[in-house]
Amino acid sequence: MRSSFSRLVVCALCLAVGLAATAALAEVDPAAIRGTVILDEEPAGAVSIADAKAKLTATPQPVVVAGRIGGRGTSPFGKNEATFSMLDIPTDDHAAKPGHKPDDCPFCKKRAANSPIAAVSFAGSDGKVIPLDAQKLFGLAEGQDVVVRGSGFFDPKLGIPVIQINADGLYLRKAK
């Protein structure tokens, strides 16, 4: 009898948590988010991730950064959250050649291993990261060049070359 009551309580709690999560997602309006975040024009003054890292401090400050959506051997997109990682856009043209595969290219691998990463997140009006995949929410793809605008910071004490950007604007560069 006691075991049945315990199962009933656990089931009720699971149902309550599930309903609360569903209600939270129902309050998120993807069209409204896209309307406020996606930019029609590229913001002026975009810098590379390396340049942003050199200028940023542990205190958040306004920043506009251009980068290529990507990760180092992992998906750049967070699950169920509006986040992604970016790498610097290569400045040479060998990567633009047809059939080029950066994952198989020793030059690209070496550059990626030494280049900083930008961790980009989009928060709602409550200050919490939006609980929707950035890939689906904004129609993004790995390898896509974008420009993000927001508040960035870099803390060298972390020991990893990652700048954090709390973004409020996203421009999708057209493929060349």
Judge contact between 147 and 43, C-beta under 8 A: yes
Q: Is residue 7 part of a domain?
A: no
Structural domain boundaries, residue 142 = 29-172
Q: Is residue 17 part of a domain?
A: no
Q: Which residues contact 163 (CB under 8 A, 6 or more apart)?
A: 49, 52, 53, 56, 65, 116, 117, 118, 119, 152, 153, 154
Q: Is residue 8 part of a domain?
A: no
**pLDDT tens, residue order, the chain (176 aa):** 444 433 433 333 343 344 334 444 447 899 999 999 999 999 999 999 999 999 999 999 999 999 999 988 789 999 999 999 999 988 776 666 777 776 778 877 777 777 889 999 999 999 999 999 999 999 999 989 999 999 999 988 887 889 999 999 999 998 76
Q: Is residue 91 part of a domain?
A: yes
Q: Is residue 36 part of a domain?
A: yes
Please give the tally of structural domains in the chain: 1
Burial 27-41 (b: 16+ CB within 10 A, else e): eeeeeebeeebebee
CATH number for the domain spanning 38: value is 2.40.50.140
pTM of the model: 0.79
